[in-house]
């Protein structure tokens, strides 16, 4: 016997099948598909959805309700497919929906729906039973370890965002009641309790001397797992944890970002954020270094994603002012003229001199590296490449005042060793960065 939800859902498709569709002006992005599915509310509230597009095919991943039948999955897949095809009728002709098992993440059900399926039902060529019978549902298994891990992490993150948490004070004890994830191990429970307790103590202040965390079992109703911490215990655990984690290194890595492909996230001050992004993209096209601005932009996007709307609004005002100032400097600044090749061997450029007897054979930029002056003069290009790598790439290096010292130090050591022509390009780069970023002039040499 089909559920009432199934009948109503299919009837909704039938009633909407003849509504005029407006073709999208451009092929939809993955985020467009997710937004359309969430807006249409074709899945249960809070269900995590991911999507991708490959030519005329769209792929959607979500989680299957534990009580859903195969027909329920088919109905949800049809509703998802109809939503996507309404969004992009000229672009998407096939939608495959993967329903993951929240408890066994290597297992999933796969349903493929074509535009022909939806149209045939809408035109009355297929009955509800015929439509369901014509659509296949397959049980598949993920054998790729990376794919299984991705599914697991997405499911855990989705569970965390849906988790119900209640808090209240009982004397000087903060009591927290949270849902227990079905697949949490005993160690997971302890980690989660410690994390919650630390945040509770941080937010509650001096009035709280103890935190009790109770995890409600979602299957065995009325059963809880309780863990309590007092202030002294939390301090002790934190010290032990910090000690255990001390030797774990965090290595900063900066990937190449395509500035022109960036888009702002939905949320507060979207118009203002879009405007400042366009300004940054314009500066990037002109070859102006925008590394520090991009970091600020990403910080603002994170604020919006976290719901810190007021903080984001103020931050975008400050960033806009800084970018406008950079635009003005770029328009007014004259690019340094290259030194003519014929004069390069003898011309000494007006490069701020970082050349102090106290430095001797060490670098003045604070970046280290163990380069002697002799080695640096022999392999200046390799020396610069190493400094750029330390700072996350050429663009980030140019925007760093310490790298300005690197260029000056290199330039004057090459000049001192009779390599003025070879030094010229490093001097010109120093001058260009000074004009762009207005770094402070380095201290003059001490004779």
Residues 281 and 315 in one domain: yes
Name the nearest CA neighbour of 319 among 275, 262, 256. 275
Question: Is the pTM of the predicted complex or chain greater than 0.75?
Answer: no
Domain boundary at 274, 307, 332, which?
A: 332
Q: Is 157 among the domain residues?
A: no
Residues 352 and 324 in one domain: no
Residues 343 and 431 in one domain: yes
CA distance 181 to 328: 54
3-state SS, residue 113: strand
φ, ψ of residue 178 in degrees (nearest 5): -135, 155
Residue 114: what pLDDT?
92
Name the nearest CA neighbour of 233 among 248, 254, 252, 211. 211
Residues 268 and 315 in one domain: yes
Q: Is 174 among the domain residues?
A: yes
- Name the range with the highest mean pLDDT among 41-45, 122-126, 253-257: 41-45
267 pLDDT more than 90? no
Read off the pLDDT band of 19 (50, 70, 90). Answer: very low
Alpha-carbon dihedral sign for residues 73, 77, 78, 83: positive
Residue 400: what pLDDT?
85
Helix axes 70-87, 4-16, angle to 10 degrees: 20
80-89, 207-216, 355-364, 374-383: segment of lowest average pLDDT = 355-364
Classify residue 144 as exposed, middle or buried by CB count within 10 Å of its CB (0-12, 13-18, 19+).
Answer: exposed
Residues 52 and 147 in one domain: yes
Residues 181 and 268 in one domain: no
Domain boundary at 303, 332, 361, which?
A: 332
Helix axes 401-416, 380-390, angle to 10 degrees: 170
DSSP per residue, 226-266? EEEEEHHHHHHHHHHHHHHHTT-----------GGG--PPS
Cα-based distances in Å from 172 to 139, 177, 286:
52, 16, 60
Read off the pLDDT band of 164 (50, 70, 90). Answer: low
Residue 13: what pLDDT?
52
Contact 371, 381 (CB under 8 A): no
DSSP per residue, 394-431? HHHHHT-HHHHHHHHHHHHHHHHTT-HHHHHHHHHHHH
**Triad 417, 423, 425: Cα angle to 5°:** 175
Q: Containing domain of residue 301, as a range?
A: 259-332
16 pLDDT more than 60? no
Tokens of 303: 């604020």
Structural domain count of the chain: 4
Read off the pLDDT band of 183 (50, 70, 90). Answer: low
Contact 433, 398 (CB under 8 A): yes
Residues 89 and 147 in one domain: yes
Residues 169 and 142 in one domain: no
Residue 363: what pLDDT?
62
Share of the chain above pLDDT 90, in %: 12
Q: Is 343 among the domain residues?
A: yes
17 pLDDT more than 80? no
């Amino acid at each position: 016997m089909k559920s009432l939800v199934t009948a109503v859902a299919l009837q909704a498709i039938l009633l909407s099948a003849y509504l005029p569709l407006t073709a999208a002006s451009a092929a939809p992005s993955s985020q467009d598909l997710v937004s359309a599915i969430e807006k249409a509310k074709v899945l249960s509230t809070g269900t995590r959805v991911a999507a991708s597009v490959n030519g005329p095919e769209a792929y959607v991943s979500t989680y299957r309700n534990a009580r859903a039948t195969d027909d329920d999955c088919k109905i949800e897949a049809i509703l998802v497919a109809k939503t996507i095809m309404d969004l992009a009728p000229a672009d998407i002709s096939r939608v495959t929906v993967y329903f993951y098992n929240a408890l066994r993440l290597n297992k999933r059900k796969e349903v493929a729906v074509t535009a022909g399926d939806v149209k045939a039902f809408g035109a009355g060529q297929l009955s509800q039973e015929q439509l369901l019978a014509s659509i296949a549902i397959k049980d598949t298994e993920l054998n790729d370890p990376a794919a299984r891990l991705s599914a697991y992490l997405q499911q855990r993150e989705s569970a965390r965002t849906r988790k119900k948490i209640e808090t209240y004070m009982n004397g000087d004890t903060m009591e927290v009641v949270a849902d227990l994830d079905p697949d949490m191990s005993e160690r997971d429970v302890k980690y989660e309790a410690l994390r919650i307790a630390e945040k509770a103590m941080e937010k509650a202040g001096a009035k709280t001397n103890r935190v009790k965390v109770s995890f409600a079992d979602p299957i065995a109703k009325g059963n809880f797992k309780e863990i309590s911490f007092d202030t002294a215990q939390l301090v002790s655990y934190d010290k032990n944890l910090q000690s255990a984690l001390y030797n774990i290194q965090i290595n900063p890595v900066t990937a190449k970002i395509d500035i022109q492909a960036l888009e702002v996230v939905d949320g507060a001050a979207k118009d203002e954020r879009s405007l400042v992004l366009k300004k940054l993209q314009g500066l990037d096209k002109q070859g102006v270094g925008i590394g520090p601005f991009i970091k600020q932009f990403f910080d603002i996007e994170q604020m919006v994603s976290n719901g810190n709307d007021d903080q984001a609004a103020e931050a975008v005002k400050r960033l806009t002012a800084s970018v406008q100032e950079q635009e003005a400097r770029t328009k007014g600044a004259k690019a340094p003229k290259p030194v003519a090749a014929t004069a390069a061997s003898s011309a000494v450029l007006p490069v701020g001199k970082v050349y102090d007897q106290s430095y001797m054979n060490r670098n003045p930029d604070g970046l280290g590296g163990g380069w002697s002056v002799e080695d640096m003069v022999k392999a200046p290009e390799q020396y610069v490449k190493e400094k750029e790598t330390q700072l996350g790439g050429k663009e980030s290096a140019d925007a760093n005042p310490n790298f300005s010292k690197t260029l000056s130090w290199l330039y004057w050591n090459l000049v001192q060793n009779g390599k003025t022509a070879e030094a010229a390009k490093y001097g010109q780069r120093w001058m260009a960065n000074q004009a762009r970023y207005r770094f402070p002039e380095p201290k003059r040499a001490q004779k």
